[in-house]
Structure 1
C-alpha cells in the first residue's frame, strides 16, 4: 500500500476538466510548482502502468499511442476552441511515427514542439481578429463542445461565442500560466490508462484535498477577478473577514504588499491561501478609500458540503428525517494525519443519534444526490450503521479479490425504515453505500433510474515517497492511480449500468451534466455473490416482501407534480409498512 487511505472516487470524479489547460512548452518554474521534466514524465508513466490495478496496456499497441495523442490535445484545449481537427490529426500521425523514440529515449519533442507551434498558431488566429477584447456587455451562457472544429470558419464561430460568454476572463482561461506541455503530457499518459487516473501538481493537490475534506484555511471570503485585483463577492458570517468589517463589494488590491493588478486570478487567489493560524495583510479599496487589514487565517468549513439533517417530519408519534450526505469526506489520506479532521461517517452518526434522542426515528431518508464519492472507509463505516458487520464491497485488482466489511461493530445503530435517495450524479463511494444497502435488502432506493456508474478505486500516491524508488528531477506532485475495481455484495459492478433504483422519480435526462461528461471506464464482468448460501437465502426471503411493497407504491396514486422531496416523504411513510427492516 502506498498510502494509508484508499480513495474511492472524489469531487473530481471525471465530471469536469478543472486542471486541464495550457502553458508554455519551455522549461520553467510556475507559481504553482515546477513542471516535470521529460524523464520524469516517462518514469511516472512507467511506474503507473506497472502498478495499475486493472490494466497494463502494451506500448506496442498503435491504438494506445493514438489515445495518448488525442488526450494530450483535449487536455491542452479542453474547450475545443483553439485547435483545428486537422492539427490534432497531424499530432496523432507524428506521435504514431515517433512513439518508440518517446518511450525508449525519453524524447518528448513530438509533443512539446507540436504544442508550442500549434498554440502559437492559435494565438495568432485570435490576435488577427482582435478576439480577446470583449465584443459586447452581454454574457450569454457558454456553449460546450465535445470535438475539435473541422473548419477555420467553425472554429471562428466557436471562439466568438466563447469570448462573448466570458469577455473579461477569456485570455486567462484560454492561456493559463500554471501548466506546461509536459504537465499536460503526464496527465494524458495516465488518462490513457483509465479516465480516473491523473497527476496533480502540489497546488492542484492542495485544491483537490480542500474539496475532498470540505474545509480550507482562509479568512472567510469568496472572490472573483476584477480590474484592480480581486473583488469580494461573499463574506462568511463570524469569519476573520466578517469580524474585521470587510464587506461584499470591497476590492483586494494587494496581499502582503504585493499588487494583484498584473496577476491572473489563480495567481492572486493563491496568495490568499496559507496554513491555519498564519497572518496575511490585505489592502482593500471601497467607496471610502483604501485601508489595510491584518487577518489571521482559520479553518473554514464548507457548510454546504457537510452531513446535515435537512428536514424532519413529525406526525402523531411518527418521525421521518431527511439527512444529506454531500460527500464522503474523512480523516487522513495524503492531506492530513490529524485525528481532529472531520469525518462524514461520524457526522452521520451524530445526526442519527441526535434524532433518536428527540424521539422515535421511524424512517430515515439518506440523501446521496450529487454525491461524487470520497474516502471508501467512510462509506463502509456508514454501511455498518445500517447493516452491522456484513459484507459491504468487494475490491478486485489484477491479483486478488478482497471482501470488506464494517467489522468495527457487532450491530447496527439504526434498524428502522430506510430510503436512499440517489440521482445520476451519485457516484463511486456513494454507489458502494447504495448498492450494499440495496443488495442486503436493507433500503428502498428512489430517485433517478440509475446512478452514475463508476466502479473503480484510486489511491493517492506522493511522488517523493522513497518507497517508489523513482529518480525524479522535479520530485513533487501526486498521482491518483486506479488500483482496483469494486463490486456490490451480490457481485455487481456499477460500471455495468450504475446502481438501479427500486422506484424511479425522474426521467433519465440526456442533458444530465453527469452523463454528458461521463468518461468511459474500464468494463468489468460481474462476480459471484460475496456471501454464503445462508446469507443469500436470508436476502431472497426479504426481497419478496420488498418487491411487493415497491409494486404497491408504484401502483398507488402519487402527485407527480408535487415537490420531489414531498414524494420521497410520502414513499417513506409507505415504507413504514415493511416488517423486513
Structure 2
C-alpha cells in the first residue's frame, strides 16, 4: 500500500470527467464487451477491496442511480419526472446489472438523456436564429441553483426555465461592451450541471462594462447561437467510453469521493499528472458544474508565483501565447482543458477567470502566466524573522514556510547521502534561526497539500524525541503504526503550526501530532480533512483508484472529514462549502480508533483561553485582521443573497453596484486605518491585488501577512507564559 498523502485528492484533476461526449448521430450508444467486463471487475473490487464495507442491494442501487442523475443533470434542466420514472427499475436493479455487466438498460437511460440534451441545444439555436426580442423590464428572476428543486413535470416547464436562462444570457451580454468576433463570450451567471462530460450548456458572457457601447440584439443572438452550436457539436461526439465512465464513476462515487474509474485514455493522463512530469502552470483543477475550477496550486509553481490566480477561481477561456485565440472551455471536459493550458516551458498562456471573490460572476478577468516546470528548489522550505516590540523591548520570532512535504526520491534511492528533503531543509533552517536568537518558531503550512508521509513523520521528529506520529487502518481493520525513530530533537522551544483550509493529508498528520503531543499550538483554520489512502490498480479495461485505508492521529481521532481543528481560529475567505472534504459527496465519516501511548511535551491548552483573549484584542485593532473578519462575514452574506439573479436590466445593475459599494467601503476603511490612499472603484482594488512584484514573485498579501504576524504574536504570548515546569518528561497512557 502506498503511504503517500496526496494533496487534496490530487487525482481530482482527472477523475469525474469523461473523455469526449460523443456523437453517434441517430444511432444509440451501446456497451461493449470490454465495458461489461470492466463493470464486473469494478463492482467486485468495490465489494471486496474498498475500505468501507459495501453491501450490494436495492439501497445501494438507488444511491448509484441518484449519483448518475447528479452527474448528468444536477440542475434538473433536461430531464422530466416522467423521463426518470420510465427507468425507475434502475433504482432497485442497477446493482445486479453492474455485477453481471448487463449494461443495456442503463445505456438506454443515457441515450434518453443524450436525446434530451441534443434537443435542448437545437431548441436554443432555433430560437436564436429567429432573432428574439428580449425584454429586460418586469420582475422576473432566475434561480441560480436548482439542485434541490423538484424535477419538471413537462417539457413545457423546462421550456420556461430555458427561456429565462436565454434571457439572462442576453442580458449579461447587453451589459457588456462589444467584443471582437473571435473573442470568447462566456456566460457563467447560471451554475449548471456537474460536467462529467463536455456537453453542458453555458450562456456566453463578458465582464460588465456599462460605460462602453452595448452589443445590439443581432450580435447577441449570433454570439449565443454560435456557442450552442459548438456545444452541440461536442455533444454529438459522445462515445461508449464516455458513457461507461459516467456509469462506473456513479458507482464508485456513491461510496466515497476519491474512488474512481479511469478509462484507458484518462488513466494515461492521470499517470502523467501524478508524476508532475509535464510543463504547465502548476495548478490542480477539478470539474465544478460546467466550469473548471482551481482546486489548489502547486507550491512553487508558476501559478502560485504569479499571485494572479487562487483556489476556487473558475477558468472560462484559454488562449495560447500573447495573441492566440481565446477558446471558451465552458462545458469542455477536464482533460481537454488541461491540454489547452499545458505547454512548453517559457511559453505564455492567457486565462479568463471568474475570481472566487467576484461579487457577480459577470466580472471575469484575463490573466497571463508563463509556463514552467516545478522543481524541488521551487518547493523548498524558507525562513524569516518577525520582530515584535513590547514595553520597550524587542522580541524575535522565527517563521519557517513549509510549502510541501518533499523528498528527492531519485537521489535517495541512488544512495546519495546529501539527498534533498523537506525535513533536512527545515532542520538547517532551525539551526539558522537559533543563531538569530528567536524566542519561538512558527511553521507556516498554509496551502501545504501534503506529499510524502515519511517526511511528515521525520519532521515531527525534529520537535520530539522519538515516538509514534500516525496510525493507518486498512480495510480488514489492521492498524499499522508509523513514527519517528531518531533520538534527539532539533528544537525544543515554543512552537506553533499555522494551517488553513488548503492544508491537507501529510500536513494534517503533522499538525495533529504536534497538537496531540502538546508540543505546540495549532493556529489558523480547520484543515481540509483528507484522511484516506488510495491505491491504483489495473483492470482488463482501464484502471481503478480505490480507497483502501484511513489515517488516524495518535490520540485515536481520524483526520478524515474534520481535519485538524486549530487551538485558536482565524477568519477565512475560503468557503468550506466549496473547498474541503466535507464539500465532497459521500465523504467517509470521521471516527476513532484506540489511542496509543505517547509522551507529553507540554500542556498548551491550559493557556488557550488567555491567548485567545489577547488575540481578539489585537485583532480588533489590526486593520488588516479586522478587514479579514468583515470580508468573511460579507462573503457569507452575499452567498445567502445570491440565490437568484434579476432579469430586469436596471435592477441587475442596482444589485451589482450595491454589493460593490459594500466591498469598496470595507476596503477603504482598511486603507484609512493604515494611512493608505483610498480607491474610487472596486475594480481598482482587484487590479491592485493582482499586481506582482518587480521580480515577478507572488506579492505578499496584507491579509496573509496579518495572519502570519498575529501567529507570531500569539506564539510570543505563549513563550512568555510558559516556564520551566512545562518541559519534556511527562508520560500519558490511554
The two structures have a TM-score, normalised by structure 1, of 0.70
8 Å contact from structure 1 (residues 71, 191) kept in 2: yes
CA contact (8 A) 1:320 1:363 kept: yes
- Cα-to-partner distance string for 1:322-372 (whole Å, 9 max, x where unaligned): 334444455669xx99999x9763575367257448634542222233444
* Conserved? CA contact 1:13–1:196, under 8 Å: no
Q: Which moved more, 1:100-109 or 1:65-74?
A: 100-109
Q: Does residue 20 of the first structure (1) align with residue 17 of the second (2)?
A: yes
Which whole-Å CA distance do the structure 1 matches of 2:405 and 2:126 have between them? Answer: 43
- 1:99 has 2:164 as partner: no
Distance 1:88 1:379 in 2: 51
Q: Distance in 2 between matches of 1:501 and 1:553?
A: 13
1:379 shift after superposition: 2.4
Task: Pick the aligned partner of 1:429 from 506, 509, 526.
Answer: 506
Q: How does 1:76-225 map to 2 (within 5 A)?
A: 76-77=72-73, 80=75, 82-84=77-79, 86=81, 89-90=84-85, 93-99=88-94, 101-130=96-125, 146-147=147-148, 150-151=151-152, 152-153=157-158, 155-156=161-162, 157=164, 161-162=189-190, 163-164=202-203, 175=235, 180-201=242-263, 204=266, 208=270, 215-218=276-279
Residue 50 of structure 1: CA displacement?
0.9
**Could you tell me which residue of structure 1 aligns to residue 612 of structure 2?**
554
Question: Which of residues 442, 446, 454 in structure 1 aligns to 2:523?
Answer: 446
Deviations 1:218-260 (A, max 9, x none): 37799xxxxxxxxxxxx969xxxxxxxx99513289xxxxxxx
Task: Return the offset for 1:205.
Answer: 5.0
1:376 to 438, 453, 456: 453
1:308, 1:323 within 8 Å by CA — same for their partners in 2? yes
Asked whether the 8 Å contact 1:84–1:155 carries over to 2, the reply is no
Aligned-pair CA distance for 1:148? 6.2
Q: Does 1:529 align with 2:589?
A: no
Indicate yes or no: 2:322 matched with 1:249: yes
**C-alpha separation between the residues in 1 aligned to 2:507 and 2:531?**
11
Partners of 1:331 and 1:339 within 8 A in 2: no
Equivalent-residue separation in structure 2 for 1:511 and 1:7 (angstroms): 24
Q: Give the conservation status (yes or no) of the 8 Å contact 2:383–2:401.
A: yes
Q: What is the Cα deviation at residue 117 of structure 1?
A: 1.7
1:20-79: per-residue Cα shift (whole Å, max 9, x none)?
A: 35723979xxxxxx9961211221231243111232x221x21101111122222334x6
Q: How much has 1:183 moved relative to structure 2?
A: 1.3
Contact 2:443 2:497 in 1 (8 A): yes
Q: Decide whether the 8 Å contact of 2:76 with 2:151 is kept in 1.
A: no
Q: Within 1, Cα distance between the matches of 2:126 and 2:116?
A: 14
1:429-463 Cα offsets, whole Å, 9 max, x none, are: 33211111100011201112x3333432222x230
Asked whether the 8 Å contact 1:212–1:374 carries over to 2, the reply is no
TM-score by length of 2: 0.57
**Which structure has the larger Rg?**
2
Q: In 2, distance between residues paired with 1:339 and 1:205?
A: 32
How many angstroms does 1:522 deviate by?
A: 2.7
Query: Do 2:40 and 2:99's aligned partners in 1 also have CA atoms closer than 8 Å?
Result: no
In the TM superposition, residue 507 of structure 1 has moved relative to its aligned partner by: 7.0
SS in 2 for 1:53: coil
Structure with greater helix share of residues = 2
Paired residue for 2:367?
none
Matches for 1:564-575 after TM superposition, within 5 Å: 564-575=707-718
Structure 2 alignment gaps of length 5 or more: 26-31, 135-142, 169-188, 191-201, 206-223, 284-300, 304-318, 327-331, 349-370, 626-706, 728-734
Aligned pair 1:63/2:59, yes or no? yes
Q: Cα offset for 1:512?
A: 4.5
Contact 1:363 1:418 in 2 (8 A): yes
> Is the contact made by 1:212 and 1:329 (CA closer than 8 Å) also made in structure 2?
no
Q: Which residue of structure 2 aligns with residue 139 of structure 1? A: none
The corresponding residue for 1:455 is 531
Where in structure 2 are the equivalents of 1:297-446 lying within 5 Å? 300-301=373-374, 306-309=379-382, 311-314=384-387, 319-328=396-405, 345-346=422-423, 348-349=425-426, 352-353=429-430, 355-356=432-433, 359-397=436-474, 398-407=476-485, 409-446=486-523
Between the aligned partners of 1:7 and 1:23, the Cα distance in structure 2 is 33
Change in CA separation of 1:571 and 1:132 when aligned onto 2, cut-off 3 Å: farther
Aligned residues: 498
Alpha-carbon offset, residue 482 of structure 1: 1.2
In structure 2, the partner of 1:232 is: none
Q: Name the counterpart of 2:578.
A: 513
The alpha-carbon distance between structure 1 residues 20 and 281, as it changes in their structure 2 partners (threshold 3 A), is closer
The 8 Å contact of residues 532 and 547 in structure 2, kept in 1 or not, is answered as: yes
1:60-107 Cα distance to aligned partner (Å, 9 max, x none): x21101111122222334x63654362784476231353365145311
**Which residue of structure 2 aligns with residue 74 of structure 1?**
70
Q: Deviations over 1:369-401 (max 9, x none)?
A: 344444433322332232342111111122311
Q: What's the offset of the Cα at 1:182?
A: 0.5
Distance change in 2, residues 1:98/1:454 (3 Å): same
On the 8 A contact 1:365/1:420 being kept in 2, the answer is yes
Q: 1:100 to 1:402 in 2, by over 3 A?
A: closer
Deviations 1:121-151 (A, max 9, x none): 1221122022998999xxxxx9566446633
Determine if contact 2:398/2:441 at 8 Å carries over to the other structure.
yes
CA RMSD between the two structures: 4.9
Q: Which moved more, 1:375-384 or 1:431-440?
A: 375-384
CA gap of 1:310–1:54, structure 2 versus 1, over 3 A, is same
In the alignment, the residues of structure 2 paired with residue 190 and residue 338 of structure 1 have an alpha-carbon distance, to the nearest angstrom, of 38
CA gap of 1:417–1:527, structure 2 versus 1, over 3 A, is same
Distance in 2, matches of 1:522 and 1:404, equals: 22
User: 2: CA distance between counterparts of 1:350 and 1:6?
Assistant: 23
> For the residues of structure 1 that align with 2:282 and 2:12, how far apart are their CA atoms?
26
Gap change, CA 1:51 and 1:122, over 3 Å in 2: same
Alpha-carbon distance, 1:489 to partner: 0.9
Of 543, 560, 569 in structure 2, the residue corresponding to residue 504 of structure 1 is 569
Supply the distance in 1 between the matched residues of 2:320 and 2:505 (Cα, whole angstroms): 39
In structure 2, the CA distance between the partners of 1:440 and 1:123, relative to structure 1 (3 Å rule), is same
